[in-house]
Amino acid sequence: MIHEVDPAGSSSEFEIKPIELPPEPDFELFDVDRIHLFVDASGKCRLTVEEDRSYPDVIVLRCFPQSRPNQYWAITDRKNRVVGIIANPSDLDSTSFETAERMLSIQYFLPKITAVYSIQEEFGAFYFDVETNLGRRTFVAKGVRDSVDEHEDGEIIITDVDENRYVIRDWMTFDPKSRKHLARIV
């Protein structure tokens, strides 16, 4: 027990309870010399840890996609459980690195918006008609708060209702009509 005395001179007793810490993470920092990533015959990405274990269907994710895209890649299983972290992916063997890069390009598919033809709002949803580096696209996004993320560097990420993401870089260089549409949501 701890005794506490207040300025008026009265004392009281109270008990300090220990803080419960979260459990230790259940994954490892992989030794790049002992792991191999490859695409198997079924087209799935497989991770093998030499002379230990194999994960038949994994996903490669960036732990810090904005600040450190080329460091700290997580390997997860299909239930989104992290099985390990690769601190320096550039140290992987060439096949593993190329496989991981291919998986990341799929995971982080991010069309770049280059022009905006229209943005219509209806019942809180926004209907976009845009030009991207991959051609003209139309998509629907929920409210601006939920779907538009503006970064400090001016980059804007818009996430549609299907969780597809689109990037806008330096929108102030867009044509006047596109800027007018974007000004409504930025």
Closest CA to 51 of 73, 29, 36: 36
Please give the pLDDT value at position 1. Answer: 45
4-42 per-position pLDDT tens digit:
555 555 556 656 667 776 666 677 899 999 999 999 988
How many distinct structural domains can be found in the chain? 2
Domain boundary among 57, 74, 107: 107
- Measure the CA–CA gap between 16 and 7, rounded to whole angstroms: 21
> Which is more confidently placed, 162 or 115?
115
132-158 per-position pLDDT tens digit:
999 999 999 998 888 898 887 788 999
> In this structure, are 32 and 103 located in the same domain?
yes
Q: Which domain holds residue 133?
A: 113-183
Q: Is residue 130 part of a domain?
A: yes
Using a cut of 0.75, tell me whether the model's pTM lies above it: no
- Measure the CA–CA gap between 19 and 3, rounded to whole angstroms: 20
- Measure the CA–CA gap between 103 and 60, rounded to whole angstroms: 6
> In this structure, are 94 and 123 located in the same domain?
no
